[in-house]
Amino acid sequence: MEFLSVRELSKSPKIAFDKLTADGKAVITNNGRPEAIMVKVDASSFESTLSLLQQLEFAQSIAAMQQESLLNGNSKMTLDEINAEIAAARREMAAAY
């Protein structure tokens, strides 16, 4: 997989896209740290690639929420405690309207 700096991408986008075409993906770095991933798509794969990326973002969000739940102790809540929290949130929302 190619690694390209933001500077390389901005100075020579044609070279960056040529490298992307060769491998199909490239990591964009900023000050040596990964910042983005470029993935080659074409008209026939655009929608499916975008859908897969959205699914990945969703999975990462769920994993982050689960990790946070473990760290703050919420993962040990009982179903009754969860339902009580939901009811309280609904009451607060109803009172706001």
What pLDDT score does 28 carry?
93
Helix spans in the chain (H): 6-11, 13-23, 46-72, 79-96
Q: What is the pTM of this model?
A: 0.64
Q: Map out the domains of the chain with their CATH numbers.
A: 1-47 (3.40.1620.10), 61-97 (no CATH)
What pLDDT score does 16 carry?
83
**Euclidean distance between the first and the last CA atom of the chain, given in angstroms as a whole number:** 52
What pLDDT score does 75 carry?
87
What pLDDT score does 22 carry?
79
Phi, psi of 43 (to 5 degrees): -60, -35
Give the type of residue at 76: K
Q: What is the pLDDT of residues 27-80, one digit of tens each?
A: 999 999 999 999 989 899 999 999 999 999 999 999 999 999 999 988 899 999
* Paired strand residues for 3: 27
pLDDT over 80 (residue 97): yes
Per-residue confidence band for 18, with pLDDT thresholds at 50, 70 and 90:
confident
